[in-house]
Amino acid sequence: AQKVTQAQTEISVVEKEDVTLDCVYETRDTTYYLFWYKQPPSGELVFLIRRNSFDEQNEISGRYSWNFQKSTSSFNFTITASQVVDSAVYFCALSANTNAGKSTFGDGTTLTVKP
């Protein structure tokens, strides 16, 4: 069975602070993919990043960075110098080849960035 845990239900920061969103996953598969999605107040779901289980390199894209550690089954997401526009619900997800293409989503972390 697959499981994704986002222990932080809500986070509130002040603009320009750095913030890390935690994601811990469980799977018995050796081949799997991890994702982060953003859901702004308008409601749509926006794909941010995908990592496969064989690539533990951290990734940086502008103010966003992702830290994937298989040893701790974690795929954490850091926003540097947060902005009000980063306010959203962020979902971590896991997809394993043996699960017939079904992805498992965490319950989401609501990030509020205050001016």
Partner 1 sequence: NAGVTQTPKFRILKIGQSMTLQCTQDMNHNYMYWYRQDPGMGLKLIYYSVGAGITDKGEVPNGYNVSRSTTEDFPLRLELAAPSQTSVYFCASSYGPSTGNTIYFGEGSWLTVV
Interface segment toward partner 1; rule CB under 8 A; list 15-23, 38-46, 60-68, 78-86: 38-46
CA angle (88 as vertex; 83, 92 as ends), nearest 5: 115
- CA 92 to chain centroid, in Å, comes to 4
Q: Please, what is the minimum distance in Å from the beta carbon of residue 57 to partner 1?
A: 16
Rounded CA-CA distance 106/4 in Å is 5
The dihedral sign for the CA sequence 53, 24, 9, 18: negative
Neighbours of 38 (CB within 10 A): 17
* Contact flag: residue 43 with partner 1 (CB under 8 A): yes
User: Using the rule CB under 8 A, is 105 a contact of partner 1?
Assistant: yes
Four-residue CA torsion sign, 90, 106, 49, 59: positive
Q: Is 84 in the site for partner 1 (CB under 8 A)?
A: no
Q: Which range binds partner 1 by CB under 8 A, 31-39, 54-62, 65-73, 79-87?
A: 31-39
Q: Which C-beta is closer to partner 1: that of 26 or that of 107?
A: 107
**Does residue 52 interact with partner 1 by CB under 8 A?**
yes
Binding site for partner 1 (CB under 8 A): 33, 35, 37, 43-45, 47, 50, 52, 91, 93, 95-97, 99-103, 105-108
